[in-house]
A and B are shown apart, each in its own frame.
Chain A
Amino acid sequence: MSKNIKFLGLLLTLIIIFIILLKGLNVSKDYSNEKLKSKIDFSINAKKLFSDEIINISDLFDKNSPSVVNIWASWCAPCREEHQFLMKLQDMNINIIGINYKDSPKNAKNFLSLLGNPYSEIITDNDGTKSIEFGAIGVPETFIISGKTNEIIKKYIGPLTSEKLQEIKNLLKENV
């Protein structure tokens, strides 16, 4: 009798463990922060690329409409690829703020004179700390940020593509 109970107990435990593990198989393992909508601290200061002037980043954002923030570097090959899409966004008269990530000013300026400058303003991020304020993990990354609430509306990790460009255009129209 007690042998049977022991056997049933063991079987039941095994079944429970099996079900837990089976359920675990279907849990998504997406740990990227791409969907996180955190707030940006607008009180940080940064140096402009072209004038060396130190400004408060809140001055760069339009309070009434969303802005696009793009983290880039001249040494980053995918940034070169996505640049054409940023140029297309600029044609739509959108406020694009560039964050030049761990780059030499000379190389950054050469990059822009070669491929065009889509940015309304560029700030430098020599030590990478400003990019962390935006929750970035590397270059390139693109953010749509609401000027009203300082919140990230949408985040793209990695280079832009024509599909992402279309999505950005739609999002900007919705959020005006």
Chain B
Amino acid sequence: MSKIIKLILLLYFSFNFSYANEINTKVDQITKNLRCLICQGQSVYDSQSDFATSMKLVVKNKIDEGKKEQEIYDYLKNKYGEWIVYEPELNQNTILLWLIPLILFVFGGLLIIRKVSIK
């Protein structure tokens, strides 16, 4: 009987543990994409500054509230501007940034095809 109770307790705590782990990995994943605004060059995930530690807590609280990743980014962009996330949005100012790799890829491909077909 006591073995069964032990097993149940073990299972209960291991599930609890994995749930906490899941939240932590999600916090890590989101904070790696957030720029620490007072320690440039570092992400919120990397930094130990007051701002970054509070930010990690805010992200964790938002996940606990059931907020999705995109909702958290939108919430922070509203407060700190688009600069807070590392990945730039697709808009008028960043269209070249997003399109140039694609254009280069297509042109490069065309060049290779031409060279191969000439041979």
Residues of A within 8 A of B (CB): 20, 31, 33, 36, 38-39, 102, 127-129, 131-135, 137-138
Contacts and interface: CB of A to CB of B under 8 A. Distances in A.
Contact of A38 (B38, B57, B79): B79
Given A128-B53, A138-B50, A33 B81 contact: yes
20 contacts: A20-B96, A31-B81, A33-B37, A33-B80, A36-B79, A36-B81, A38-B79, A127-B54, A127-B57, A129-B54, A129-B61, A131-B54, A132-B54, A135-B79, A135-B80, A137-B37, A137-B51, A137-B80, A138-B38, A138-B50
A102 B58 contact: no
A127 B38 CA distance: 17
Contacts of B79: 33, 36, 38, 132-135
B18 interface: no
Contacts of A132: 54-55, 58, 79
Contact of A31 (B51, B55, B57, B83): B83
B81 A128 contact: no
A138 B80 contact: no
Given A36-B81, A38-B78, A129 B38 contact: no
Given A36-B80, A102-B50, A135-B80, A128 B38 contact: no
Interface of B: 37-38, 50-51, 53-55, 57-58, 61, 78-81, 83, 96
A172 to B, nearest CB: 23
Given A129-B58, A132-B54, A138-B51, 17 more contacts: A20-B96, A31-B37, A31-B81, A31-B83, A33-B79, A33-B83, A36-B79, A36-B80, A38-B79, A128-B53, A128-B54, A128-B57, A129-B54, A129-B57, A131-B54, A134-B79, A137-B51
A20 B96 CA distance: 10
A138 B50 CA distance: 8
A133 B81 CA distance: 13
Contacts of B55: 132
A95 B106 CA distance: 61
B75 to A, nearest CB: 9
Contacts of A129: 54, 57-58, 61
Candidate in A129, A133, A137 with the most chain B CB atoms within 10 angstroms: A137
5 nearest A-B residue pairs (beta carbon): A128-B54, A135-B79, A31-B83, A33-B81, A33-B80
Contacts of A135: 79-80
